[in-house]
Chains A and B, each alone.
Chain A
Amino acid sequence: MIDKFEKNVIITAFCISLVFIFSLFYAMGAKKADVTACLPYDKSYETARVNQVDKTTYQIFYVARMWSFEPAIAYIPVGSEVDLFATSLDVVHGFDIYNKNVNLMAVPGGVAKTTIKFEEPGVYKVICHEYCGTGHQNMQAEIIVNYPKK
């Protein structure tokens, strides 16, 4: 039905796909790389705030709207682990932290969540990467990671 070479190629294609799929699980398990968690939505996510949970754990609740993020600037000490939550009050926005592999959609009526550790001090730019109207290209926020002042 199928010639020898054809069969070998189909088997090889399956094996290559399995390698890719294995890598995907490896990234999830060993490197703790995952996509946004799925949480049911409630009104409390509509209030922008920064919470300190304990000495090295923070929560930032981001609220996006046309055309800004709140909090526009968040201060976090170096070495903290931060739970990021993002929702929107109007249209769909994007939430991308430059150089940090945080990539979420801020959707009205839903909340995206991810956890990230800031090991290096610096100014981390958050940009909206989903078209959200005529002011889309102005939409940016900052996470400033620094050593706490004594």
Chain B
Amino acid sequence: MMNVSRFLKNVILIELFVPVLLLTVGIYHGLMQVIYRSGVIHKASVAKLDYYQGLTLHGVINAIVLTTFFAVAFGHATIAFYLKKEPGKKATLLSLLLMVIGTLMAAAAMLSGKASVLYTFYPPLKAHPAFYIGTAMLIVGSWVAFWDWVVVYIRWKKENREINTPLAVIGTLVNFTIWFVCTLAVAYEVLILLVPWSMGWTAGVNVMLARTLFWFFGHALVYFWLLPAYIMFYTMLPKLAGGKLYSGMAGRIAFFMFLLFSIPIGVHHQFGDPSIGRGIKLSQSILTFAVAIPSFITAFTIAASLEHASYMRGGKGLYKWIWKLPFFRKDVYLFGYLINGLILFIFGGLTGLVNASYSLNNVVHNTSFIPGHFHLTVAGPVFLAILGMSVFLVSQLTGRKIYMPTINTIIPYLWTVGVLIFSAGLMWGGLMGEPRRTNMGLTYLDPANELYHPYWVISSMLGLAGGGIMFVAGFLYFIVFFGTFLRKRTAEPMIDLPVSESLHPEKRIPIFDTFKPWVALMVLILLMAYIPAISDALNNTTKKAPPYKPSDPTPVVVK
């Protein structure tokens, strides 16, 4: 248990409150999309918000704003709790300001309809410069927090040379190292290529270079979403189940493998792209299987920890022990959030391997199979961990009891049922060629339209049913989250994260308690994987593209 300063408490609370407030907009647009797509309505916009504008809001808010704010807030809590040192005030405040102001700028650009370019913002579709600058500020803000934690960590390590760095701290620092390195590419894309071009200072942009830089960032991004959840799986879930972590060493190996292999695999999003050689695509496809290994390891370690926990509670048998786990206990509601995420991730991980499998990707690329897959990951373990931990931290930091604890315990189960139906529909549709990112209600699912495609009716209806259930679960979460803020304060503000002890005594092995050799190896693999990709994109693409508004087939004239 740890008392926190008023300052840090307020920073973490703001970093949870702001993105969850915006998430109401993000989730509303999630619901709207399944309604548009299934052909229930045949409209381009509802309440003056266009389908593609809503899709941009849904992607940017849910996948960038919420996840980044949460990773920083959870990082503050983890670093302060485990190292017993609070992060520096100036850096923490600067980071908060950059993130909030940047987010407001990007939100204003999206809500005014001047940035309907989706969260991948592929040029030559052009957004308002405020969109690019705003998202860049959000990212730089998260860097500032990270640099400050590094300073705190180095100070701690000097005082504790012989003590094994806590697993949660290793996880947090690995995660933000990945984040910092991968966002360098997208910062270059945004600040050097896109901002001057969107201002009209440069005439054209090399589209293939921009796409390659985006995906340098784009796949590592998913591990940046995922690792906070992994930290919770390793350091909290066994404790919540009433047991111990089967192997802390496995956690260390997993985190350092993520450090090595999270980034040099981004080209697996570009198998259909021209200008990049087949050899590069094939080698990055194979590297993707290397990054699946830490997830296999995690699946075993966590399952073994849970089985052990269940035996401690009197569980028996080969499978019967499962029912001894605390699925519906209000006092360990976090268990429900985390275990449901893990169940979804079994399907999310396996479908991810399908996507990564080189020529097999031709079957699914850019079909609705892809959102079907990533709602089992980012809207699975990632989102559920964020929901559970945000309620947990708000309750502890405000000293208030959770509003409607029974509902809070049920939310992750409801959400999981919704996601499973939703993703089954989208993936089935995807295998029948249903495109992602498309307002299908206007053409393909409008019986009056000549492009009507009856095969996609049932699959998109499943998407609607699942999406509806997800919306209800999200709505209940908002009631619990905001309701908790409104209750009476009954305890002192504090942070008291559940801490799993190790089952076996863990010896300190120096190579798994240092970052330098791992980071050096990471940079080496990265250069080997990406120098050929970038050079291909530069050499095989001679033409540069002028900017286009999403609504106009003629380029924006630069005066």
Contact = CB atoms under 8 A, between A and B. Distances in A.
A108 B545 contact: yes
Contact of B207 (A21, A110, A140): A110
A81 to B, nearest CB: 17
Q: Size band of the B side of the interface?
A: 35 or more
Contacts of A125: 433
A134 B50 contact: yes
Given A41-B540, A96-B367, A109-B207, A1 B438 contact: no
Contacts of B358: 24, 27-28, 35
A38 interface: yes
Contacts, number: 218
B435 A17 contact: no
A5 B296 CA distance: 13
Interface string B310-335: 00000000000000000000000000
Nearest to B364: A103
Interface string B36-77: 000000001000001010010000000000000000000000
Given A20-B289, A103-B366, A87 B249 contact: no
Interface string A30-47: 000111111111100000
Interface string A92-120: 10101011011111011111110000000
A133 interface: yes
A35 B278 contact: yes
B165 interface: no
Contacts of A90: 124, 545, 548, 553, 555
A36 B246 CA distance: 45
Contact of B273 (A9, A42, A110, A134): A110
A23 B357 contact: yes
B451 A140 contact: yes
Contact of A134 (B296, B444, B542, B550): B550
B542 A91 contact: no
A52 interface: no
A9 B358 CA distance: 26
Contacts of B545: 90-91, 108-109
Contacts of B253: 10
Nearest to B280: A38
A40 B276 CA distance: 10
B160 to A, nearest CB: 22
B3 interface: no
A35 B275 contact: no
Contact of B357 (A24, A42, A137, A140): A24
Contacts of B292: 13, 17
Interface in B281-302: 281-282, 285-286, 289-290, 292-293, 296-297, 300-301
A127 B208 contact: no
A35 B271 contact: yes
B277 interface: yes
Contacts of A70: none
B486 interface: no
Contacts of A65: 553
Contacts of A113: 274
Q: Size band of the A side of the interface?
A: 35 or more
A27 B360 CA distance: 8
Contact of A35 (B290, B362, B435, B436): B362
Contacts of A20: 289, 353, 357
B24 interface: no
B437 A98 contact: no
A38 B555 contact: no
A127 B435 contact: yes
B9 interface: no
B437 A131 contact: yes
Contacts of A40: 539-540, 542
A106 B249 CA distance: 46
Interface string B524-559: 000000000000100111111100111111010000
Contacts of A98: 433
B300 A6 contact: yes
A39 B290 CA distance: 29
B249 A105 contact: no
Interface string B98-130: 000000000000000000001000101100000
B315 to A, nearest CB: 18
A60 to B, nearest CB: 16
A130 interface: yes
A109 B300 contact: no
Contact of B118 (A5, A131, A134): A131
A96 B539 contact: no
A134 B117 CA distance: 10
B553 A103 contact: no
B286 A21 contact: yes
Contacts of B276: 38
A136 B281 CA distance: 28
Nearest to A95: B272
A110 B124 contact: no
B438 A129 contact: yes
A3 interface: yes
Interface string A122-148: 000101111111111110100000000
Contacts of B436: 129
B543 A137 contact: no
Contacts of A130: 122, 366, 437
B192 interface: no
B361 A96 contact: no
B207 A38 contact: no
A24 B304 CA distance: 31
Given A24-B360, A110-B273, A39 B540 contact: yes
10 tightest Cβ-Cβ pairs between the two chains A and B: A110-B274, A13-B296, A109-B543, A129-B435, A66-B553, A33-B359, A133-B550, A129-B366, A112-B274, A110-B275
17 contacts: A1-B507, A2-B250, A6-B301, A10-B253, A13-B293, A38-B278, A38-B540, A39-B540, A40-B540, A90-B553, A91-B548, A92-B207, A96-B366, A107-B275, A111-B274, A112-B274, A130-B437
